[in-house]
Structure 1
Amino acid sequence: MKLTKPQTRVIYLATMVLGLSACSSPLKYAPRDHGATTSSAQAKPSQAQDCQGSYRVRSGDTLSEIAVKCDISMSRLAKYNQLLPPYIIYVNQELLIPSVQALQTSPELVDDNEDPANDITGQSRVQPEPLQPKNQAPIKQAKQLSPPKEDSAKAIERQDTPQERVKMEKSGKWVWPMHKGLDYRYIRDRAGLSVLEIYGLPGQDVKAVTSGKVVYAGNGIANFGWMLVIKHTDEYMSIYAHNSALLVREGDIVKSGQVVATMGATGNTKRPKLYLEARYQGRKVDIKKILKP
């Protein structure tokens, strides 16, 4: 049957109306499984849950990365857990994460790296012995290593692999890290724990107090200049700061008495010196009880 022109126009208009009504109708979807719903806002809680009260350190973590992840300043996180530069942490170590209330009410903490002149137990000075010509070795011009890109050391495995395990001296005694004719003094912090400072000339040899593995080598820690941290097999660590150059790298195995750096005046110091600190399980201990001339 042939349609007239008016009939054709009516059919066309009806088709347009139906099409527009279909476009304006709300879209319907099959109901989704509520448990499978994810979003960027819901993805963060799993990360935030890691920081609920405490955080367990994973391989490759640094304290600065953990601080960012847990939305807290690294200095606050370090002080809350009694960690000192270069903020050595261990895999599976549990770090306490302060709550907002704790941050608001916690008293101001004092930096242990204060001016030694204000807090000294007593100083033991020895007049330098006159050096014979045979002992006056020329100062070595050591090549400095490139500084690290981070400001805190990566998490350390508590147990070394058999290939990396090093043998401590049978006596366990630490050896003096520099020539014994140099001036030195033990300096106590407010907690009553002493560190050792030895004074000399730039370029003089700095030796490892005992065998171990270098776990930090760089100048990324404020105030300490070029610094080394050596981990020993009995969970002790020795820290050497203000060096002019480092002669070993992270991961190197060193022997007792091995030259590992040269004395300098880098970082926050007005004179060439070696700053030597002892730690046990990451915490500062009194070096005067471990190392004596």
Structure 2
Amino acid sequence: MTVYSGCRSPQLSDRAPALPASIGRPFTRGRPAVSVVILLLSLILLSGCNTSAIYQDHLYNPPVYWGKHEVKKGETLYGIAWRYGRDYRELGNANGLKPPWTIHPGQVIRLDKKGRIPATASASPRPSKSAVQRTSGSRQTSASSRPAKTPVASDIDWQWPHNGTVIAGYSASGKVNKGIDIAGKPGDAVRAAAKGNVVYAGNGLLGYGNLIIVNHSEHYLSAYAHNRKILVQEGEDVKAGQVIAELGSTGTDKPMLHFEIRRNGNPVDPSRYLPGR
């Protein structure tokens, strides 16, 4: 995906380029000169816009509520919303769009506007079948492990997209990881974690390589990144466990599957949804 624009406020992690030693000399010595330089740098950063480099930086952590995005050929609202950490329904609503969220090349998507998401009851991850079986010794315990009746999202039976070792877990702070990384060999089968519909299949989202995004319900999406080969197409329905890609190393330095689950556009810890091993 090519970013047209998306200006952002500088973060504490932003690093300014080194300055020539001569800068600040015309001013008085000491802190006033340093303050002037810092002010100038702040103005430069505030006037700057996103470049593709920030998507490779683990400190870049959407959601983004500034700037705009010009739609390029082949892009979908799902993919754009994923890139900026927004719920596709909220972003569509902010831009006057309605289902099926059709967009066109050249169309400008405003990121500085916030839309609405239909109000629904809060949904919790459904315990896996194995988790229920482990607590079935007591009818009361088994029942208590099930959440109250919620929207269809809670009826998703999640399963592991690959049986490899988890080499990096979910992290919302420090070195941010919006999902989990699973080790594997090039060509290993990558499977759909639940039934759904493919809403993105391509390599336009920087940092993800060959990426597949599957829509499972009104609330939940899952993503499968760094694939060597994509075996499904956008708009295709997939079954849980269906092979949808070959594991690879596109967009990363070693073979692995990066797997994410997002609820209402927000990354969540997949380990809370996947069954125990």
What is the TM-score of this pair, normalised by structure 1? Answer: 0.46
What is the TM-score of this pair, normalised by structure 2? Answer: 0.48
Structure with greater Cα Rg: 1
